[in-house]
């Protein structure tokens, strides 16, 4: 009689645990799907950030290039042209400079 009772109790426990196992399994599968979705989202954000960084880099290159041109090379070229125009009375260079609003005068 006690063995019968133990057998029934153990069987019932096994059935309950089976149900619990199934529920836990479904819950974990749902969590795994959620994780996958989050990882996809992170990948998409990382891609966007990578694009933005490339865009920033391109902007910086353009700014640096223009800055170098406007602050270093450009003024030097214009100064040289102006000097040559004044020294040699070069009308072609004068016309070129005038086209860009620059007028060189001898001191």
Per CB under 8 A, residues contacting other proteins are: 3-4, 6-7, 10-11, 13-14, 17-18, 20-21, 24-25, 27-28, 31-32, 34-35, 38-39, 41-42, 45-46, 48-49, 52-53, 55-56, 59, 62-63, 65-67, 69-70, 72-77, 79-81, 83-85, 88, 90, 92-93, 96, 99-100
The Cα 28–Cα 24 span in angstroms is 6
Shortest approach of other proteins to residue 105 CB, angstroms?
A: 15
Q: Which of 77, 66, 71, 70 is nearest to 104 (CA)?
A: 77
Handedness of CA 6, 9, 14, 20 (dihedral sign): negative
């Amino acid at each position: 009689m006690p063995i019968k009772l133990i057998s029934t109790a153990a069987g019932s426990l096994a059935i309950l645990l089976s149900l619990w196992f199934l529920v836990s399994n479904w819950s974990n599968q749902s969590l795994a799907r959620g994780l996958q979705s989050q990882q996809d989202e992170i990948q998409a954000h990382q891609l966007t950030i990578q694009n933005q960084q490339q865009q920033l880099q391109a902007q910086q290159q353009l700014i640096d290039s223009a800055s170098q041109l406007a602050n270093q090379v450009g003024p030097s070229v214009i100064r040289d042209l102006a000097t040559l125009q004044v020294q040699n009375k070069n009308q072609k260079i004068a016309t070129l400079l005038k086209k860009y609003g620059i007028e060189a005068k001898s001191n």
